[in-house]
């Protein structure tokens, strides 16, 4: 939507950024290119990686002989990465995929969870005290989350979320993002809890408190 000279308003999410020519909106997903709102991040990340012979994680390899599943292994699989707007969605997904399966028309509507809203719930099994509920959890001195309610005898950390990813300083956002990426990739991450303990956390490994 045009907002006067050099300015357009992105209406892809409730933030409604007013974006100058040549600049991107707050989420870096949309930009103003000579008065036109354009999408910045590729919608077909997996396909581009495939086209460039990039590394891919094998997926549904054993389904080639499967005869009746909703998702056939040999066909493209719609993931929803880069597909729509924001959370919570207040308008329909802008990308809707049509295909035919055994003569039947199929419509796939996919949703996207953008990274600025992502968070992790980390379950830590230890008898050692990590920190009181609500206390800040830090990585490299930046707050990346807080101690959440204990569950099933385990201490829980809530990491990430929009306030740490985009609501604080740039460093806070970068450190939060990196800590979550590292944890999701099975790497060890050192965390500290205010007025509590320091802990090395790694998926599948015992915590080192």
Write out the residues near ligand SF4 by the rule CB under 6 A: 10, 12-13, 15-17, 25-27, 29-30, 86
- Those residues with Cβ within 8 angstroms of residue 90's Cβ, 6 or more apart along the chain or in another chain: 13, 14
Q: Identify the three-state secondary structure at position 2.
A: strand
Q: Which is nearer to ligand SF4, 18 or 123 (CB)?
A: 18
State the minimum distance, in angstroms, from the CB of residue 21 to ligand SF4.
14
Q: Which is nearer to ligand SF4, 22 or 198 (CB)?
A: 22
How many angstroms separate the most distant Cα atoms in the chain?
63
State the minimum distance, in angstroms, from the CB of residue 28 to ligand SF4.
7
Q: What is the C-alpha to C-alpha distance for residues 103 and 138, in angstroms, rounded to an integer?
A: 55
Q: What is the C-alpha to C-alpha distance for residues 163 and 175, in angstroms, rounded to an integer?
A: 13
Q: Which is nearer to ligand SF4, 17 or 139 (CB)?
A: 17
* Cα dist from 45 to 25, 65, 94, 118, 178, whole Å: 21, 27, 17, 19, 20
Stretch (H or E) spanning 180:
helix 170-184
Q: Which is nearer to ligand SF4, 49 or 111 (CB)?
A: 111
Q: Does the N-terminal peptide bond of residue 173 adopt cis geometry, omega within 30 degrees of 0?
A: no
State the minimum distance, in angstroms, from the CB of residue 137 to ligand SF4.
26
State the minimum distance, in angstroms, from the CB of residue 24 to ligand SF4.
7
Residue nearest to ligand SF4 (CB): 25
Stretch (H or E) spanning 121:
strand 119-124
State the minimum distance, in angstroms, from the CB of residue 111 to ligand SF4.
14
Q: Which is nearer to ligand SF4, 41 or 194 (CB)?
A: 41
């Amino acid at each position: 939507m045009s907002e006067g000279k050099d300015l357009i308003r992105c209406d892809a999410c409730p933030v409604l950024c007013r974006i100058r020519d040549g600049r991107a909106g707050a989420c870096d997903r949309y930009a103003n290119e000579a008065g036109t709102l354009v999408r910045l991040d590729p919608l077909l990340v997996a396909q581009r990686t495939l086209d460039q012979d990039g590394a891919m994680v094998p997926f549904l390899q054993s389904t080639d002989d499967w005869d009746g599943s909703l998702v056939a292994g040999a066909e493209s699989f719609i993931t929803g990465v880069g597909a729509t707007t924001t959370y919570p969605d207040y308008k329909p997904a802008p990308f809707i995929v049509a295909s035919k399966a055994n003569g039947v028309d199929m419509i796939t509507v996919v949703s996207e969870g953008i990274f600025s809203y992502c968070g992790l719930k980390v379950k830590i099994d230890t008898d050692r005290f990590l920190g009181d509920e609500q206390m800040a959890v830090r990585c490299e001195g930046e707050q990346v989350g807080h101690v959440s309610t204990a569950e099933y005898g385990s201490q829980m950390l809530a990491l990430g979320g929009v306030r740490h990813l985009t609501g604080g300083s740039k460093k806070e956002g970068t450190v939060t993002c990196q800590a979550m990426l590292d944890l999701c990739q099975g790497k060890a991450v050192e965390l500290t809890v205010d007025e509590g303990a320091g802990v090395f956390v790694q998926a599948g490994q015992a915590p080192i408190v």
